[in-house]
Structure 1
Amino acid sequence: MSLLPFDEIFQSKFTESPNMTWTYGQKVESTPAGRAWMEGEKEGWKSINTAEEDRMKLYTLMISGIVPRPIAFVSTISEEGIENLAPFSWFNMVTNWPPMVSFSCSNGPSRIKDTTHNVKNSKGGFTVNIISEPFVENANATAIDSPPGFDEWSLSGLTKVPSVHVKASRVKESAFSMECELYQAIDIVHPDTGERTNTLVLAHVKYIHIRNDVLNERGLVDLTKFKPVARMGDITYARVGDVFRLPRPTWAAEESKVMEAIHQKE
């Protein structure tokens, strides 16, 4: 596969949504793009029984279909004071109150990851940092299969910044970082084999650090300045391309239109 050079001056743009004229009850096939999309359905479906599929094939399939995924760049510290840094793309927000995020660490056949061990056993807390385009190679380097106890900071070229509330360092290059305490660590046990395959970490966010230059006039993160990176399938990553704004409907404002659309179908 030949690759084009990375476009360093690319800027995300805000556009209209794909079908600005859509109305309640309107079929997907009513637009040219929708018809083209639904034409693919004629090619049929592939259905997979997960109980009978190879686990690595399931892994590669699921990470290619469940996209894009945000990436948690997790900094932890062991009981002995050894620091660890690793990216996890099984990550997302859980709730805003209490402020909580989650990430999942897969357990290898021979040992659990340093991140899992440190989160469970260290009392120092940990940080979750968001990765932006300018240092994605630095972050990717920390995913190396290093031996236990190795400090990935040393090879990353990234900068440690002391946290306010936890012992683990923040990543200076990250424009959005969260200091966290362990809320709960849930070992995922396969219901058929009893194997402990993953650990789901629920993290209570105690402090959030945001660089002022990535905030907009409303005090929210401006993605065109933030340049967050998303994880796709295989070894593929993505930047945020053009984005569109789509207001969420409210029943108070839309009830009459909804009911009219329903009655027209009867």
Structure 2
Amino acid sequence: MDIEVDSNLFKNSKITNKKHSFCGKSEKVIKLVEFDFSHLAGHLVNGNLEAEFQVKIKKMTGFKILKLRNFDDDVAKKFSDVCLMAGKQKFYVSKLFVASHSTYFESLFLGNFQESQKSEIELKEIDSEDFQNFLEVLYGESAINDDTVEGILNLADMYDAKTAIRRCEEFLLEKSKNSIKFKFTLAVKYKLDALKKKCYSELKTTAEIRELVPAKADDFDPFVWKELFLKATSPQ
């Protein structure tokens, strides 16, 4: 874990601020964040301490994310007829079930491709965690959150999985706490019209509109630029 601690100690209208960064493993990093009371005694007022600590976890590695559904256990293997490989991870699934949710896999499994006869198919350059989350959505699990939605949406668009796309858009419309720029960028990239319309409705100032402008102009097509221009020049 890589942790940054920003501490503010208050006394008689004065603020002492310190920022510390810690790196460590397991319980050791937690002990690094602890403060010895003797270090704080000089800031007591009538035995009381007024302080504010903001702890930011900048990076974590080695933590296993709990799966909502296993695609490599005995149950998955028993009811599967194909194994999909993403990275070094194997996913045992039903061809007909996955094909019913994705036109890409429908063509791959049921079309006249060489892969349709294989029992194991490699999906090249696909992140295994994103694919795990994508499959969980297809199988009805609640895998969509602010951290996973972009990866799921990318695969849903790549594999033309309309149910997964719809569920991602519903999450972004109703539950996501991500910024309007993040949502608008996804709405444009993946043609999520309802989400784009909502983003437009939430823009109140020209400064907010400018926030949506991407680093590369080519990221937005001319129609989107026109919509932003009309929004910026229309009476608020």
Normalization by structure 2: what TM-score?
Answer: 0.21
Normalization by structure 1: what TM-score?
Answer: 0.19
Pick the structure with more helix per residue: 2
Pick the structure with more strand per residue: 1
The structure, 1 or 2, with the larger RCO (C-alpha pairs under 8 Å, 6+ apart) is 1
